[in-house]
Amino acid sequence: MTTVKTNSGRLKVELVRGNIANQPDMDAVVNAANASLLPGSGVAGAIHRAAGPGLEEECRGLAPIAPGEAVITNAHRLPNEYVIHCLGPVYGQDEPSDQLLASCYRQALQLADDKKLSSVAFPAISTGVFGYPVAPAARVAFLTLLDVADHLRWVKHIRFVLFTEDDLALHEQVLEALLNQ
Ligand code: ADP
């Protein structure tokens, strides 16, 4: 667990290996969504499977979303209060990829803060089917987090849930390098 000092106190940043659909202690989990907000593979599949058909129904009214955009829904059968759906950029196609990816993290954190949530768990958005290399994506995620940290009034705990041991190790390296700059 890393602690980042902010204007309004401290922000816990935690990196774990796990399943984004099994984070019962977090107020919100983030979905690496597709534009139509439908179940799909990877993170979106896991979240929709665990949330049940009510999530798909609620999502229908909000789709489509654009790359870099985030929307918030109830969590239905998931053990959280909310799901925040982000559409990451397809690497090499949605440009500028880094700015669109940063926009996902910024918008997701803003939505969580607007709802006065204290904890949010993220997957590594865009690094699966969308092909964004993991280390550069992690750098964008952490830089965005450090950039917005001072503006967050309610969010105090951010968890990155990585699917593999390799992705976890890469995220640890990137965060450490940024904090030791
Ligand atoms: P995208 O379409 O944004 O690339 P994916 O869902 O394909 O989203 O993958 C995003 C990242 O999440 C990948 O690194 C993938 O290995 C990882 N991942 C897949 N399933 C899960 C899960 N259940 N929990 C956490 N991470 C997951």
Ligand 1 proximal residues by C-beta, below 6 Å: 19-21, 32, 41-44, 46, 88, 123-130, 161, 163, 167
The ligand 1 atom nearest the CA atom of 46 = 23
14 with 157: CB under 8 angstroms? yes
Residue identified by tokens 């984070």 is 23
Task: Convert the pLDDT of each residue in 47-86 to its tens digit.
Answer: 999 999 999 999 999 999 999 999 999 999 999 999 999 9
The ligand 1 atom nearest the CA atom of 130 = 4
Task: Convert the pLDDT of each residue in 2-57 to its tens digit.
Answer: 888 887 778 999 999 999 999 999 999 999 999 999 999 999 999 999 999 999 99
Q: Is the peptide bond before 64 cis (omega within 30 degrees of 0)?
A: yes
Task: Convert the pLDDT of each residue in 124-155 to its tens digit.
Answer: 999 999 999 999 999 999 999 999 999 999 99
Alpha-carbon distances, residue 158 vs 138, 169, 178 (angstroms):
14, 17, 17
The whole-model pTM stands at 0.98
pLDDT attached to residue 5: 82
Task: Convert the pLDDT of each residue in 89-121 to its tens digit.
Answer: 999 999 999 999 999 999 999 999 999 999 999
List the chain domain ranges. Answer: 2-179
The ligand 1 atom nearest the CA atom of 87 = 3
Nearest CA to ligand 1 atom 23: 19
168 CB-side CA count, 13 A: 13
102 with 88: CB under 8 angstroms? no
Which superfamily is assigned to 2-179 in CATH? Leucine Aminopeptidase, subunit E, domain 1 (3.40.220.10)
Nearest CA to ligand 1 atom 10: 128
Alpha-carbon distances, residue 92 vs 43, 74, 98, 107, 128 (angstroms):
21, 32, 10, 22, 14
